[in-house]
């Protein structure tokens, strides 16, 4: 786990943070926080937007924001930014929050924020393959230096495994048809290696929806990204251990973007007696925010307080 100290900046990022006012409210507002938070973990640092706002909301000079992100591109950008002694960003997954706290001889934080969506910076990177509208290598890893790219993942799994993953993680009804076409290409010694190759398969296999709102490749790319990065496994392990990282009265604030993530968060908060659920139903972005930032439209925010 490596780290860089920096002041969050938007100079080199095009990402717009989702539900920023709500995040600040549930972390730092006196109506929720009986005592001002001293230590806050931003587990998905990304463009640094949430961290920047939290630093403004927490006026105490002794406070600290700890950022975590798996993406080396984030670490590289942070290294070039102006330093702020109240912020440290680690190149690591949010499930390593305990190790980050240990760097400061801390065992708990007063709040932890997770924004589980892709950043606009990742979508804009042609070498990562996150956007099905831009051709490039079919990678889909948050950390290109670890794990296997999606193209190799497909080559390593059989038709049933591919279909099951696309159905389970993408809720794609035509997963069997897509998996069959992928494996057929492999048998022809033409394995899928680029974004456009997979998009074309999805176009052929997924009938055009009536409302035309959903691109035929959307669910398949989501599923492969989740599988390649073990996103749901990391989320489940984090929620299992997070009560040990949050001080009594501290808040866990999580923004999810699809039903699988939201279900995991909802169940973890509800079923663990160490949490007091503060949002009985998920909060949604305002109409004005969706108009300003369309990528926020599917966001759901849930909050729990450590008993």
Q: What angle separates helix 195-205 from helix 218-229, to the nearest 10 degrees?
A: 130
* CA angle 75–244–20, rounded 5-degree value: 50
> Alpha-carbon distance 271 to 146, whole Å?
33
- Does 71 belong to an annotated binding site? no
Q: DSSP letters of the chain? A: -EEEE----STT-----SSHHHHHHHHH-TTT-SS--SEEEESS-TTSHHHHHHHHH---TT-EEEEEES-HHHHHHHHTSPP-TTEEEEES-GGGHHHHHHTTT-S-EEEEEEE-SPPHHHHH-TTT---TTS--B----SSTTSS--HHHHHHHS-HHHHHHHHHHHH--TTHHHHHHHHHHHHHTT----BHHHHHHHHHHHSPPPSS--S-TTHHHHHHHHHHHHTHHHHHHHHHHHGGGTEEEEEEEEEEE-SHHHHHHHHHHHHH-TTEEES-SS-B---HHHHHH-GGGTT-EEEEEEE-
Tokens of 36: 């001002």
Q: How many CA atoms lie within 13 A of 228 on its CB side?
A: 27
* Residue 215: φ, ψ to 5°: -65, 140
- Does 250 belong to an annotated binding site? no
- Does 186 belong to an annotated binding site? no
- Does 49 belong to an annotated binding site? yes
- Does 122 belong to an annotated binding site? yes
- Does 94 belong to an annotated binding site? yes
The candidate with the shortest Cα–Cα distance to 160, out of 152, 150, 168, 149, is 168
- Does 45 belong to an annotated binding site? no
Indicate the annotated binding residues: 48-50, 69, 94, 115, 122
Indicate the annotated binding residues for S-adenosyl-L-methionine: 48-50, 69, 94, 115, 122
């Amino acid at each position: 786990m490596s780290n860089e100290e920096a002041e969050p900046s938007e100079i080199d990022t095009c990402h717009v943070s989702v539900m920023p006012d709500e995040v600040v409210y549930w972390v730092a507002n006196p109506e929720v926080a009986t005592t001002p938070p001293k230590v806050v973990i931003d587990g998905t640092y990304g463009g640094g937007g949430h961290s920047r706002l939290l630093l403004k909301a927490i006026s105490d000079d002794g406070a600290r924001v700890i950022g975590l992100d798996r993406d080396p591109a984030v670490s590289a950008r942070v290294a070039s930014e102006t330093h702020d002694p109240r912020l440290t960003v680690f190149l690591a997954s949010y499930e390593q929050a305990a190790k980050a706290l240990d760097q400061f001889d801390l065992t708990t934080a007063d709040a932890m924020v997770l924004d589980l969506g892709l950043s606009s910076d990742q979508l804009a990177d042609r070498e990562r393959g996150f956007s099905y509208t831009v051709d490039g290598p079919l990678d889909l890893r948050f950390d290109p230096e670890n794990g296997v790219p999606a193209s190799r993942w497909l080559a390593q799994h059989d038709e049933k495994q591919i279909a099951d993953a696309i159905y389970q993680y993408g809720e794609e009804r035509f997963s069997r048809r897509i998996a069959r076409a992928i494996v057929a290409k492999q048998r022809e010694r033409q394995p899928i290696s680029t974004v456009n190759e997979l998009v074309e398969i999805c176009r052929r296999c997924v009938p055009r929806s009536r409302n035309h709102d959903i691109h035929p490749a959307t669910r398949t790319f989501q599923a492969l990204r989740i599988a390649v990065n073990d996103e749901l496994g990391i989320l489940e392990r984090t929620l299992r251990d997070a009560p040990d990282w949050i001080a009594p009265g501290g808040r866990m604030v999580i923004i999810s973007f699809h039903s699988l993530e939201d279900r995991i968060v909802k169940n973890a908060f509800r079923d663990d007696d160490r949490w007091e659920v503060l949002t009985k139903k998920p909060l949604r972005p305002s109409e004005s925010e969706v108009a300003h930032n369309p990528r926020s439209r599917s966001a759901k925010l849930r909050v729990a307080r450590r008993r």
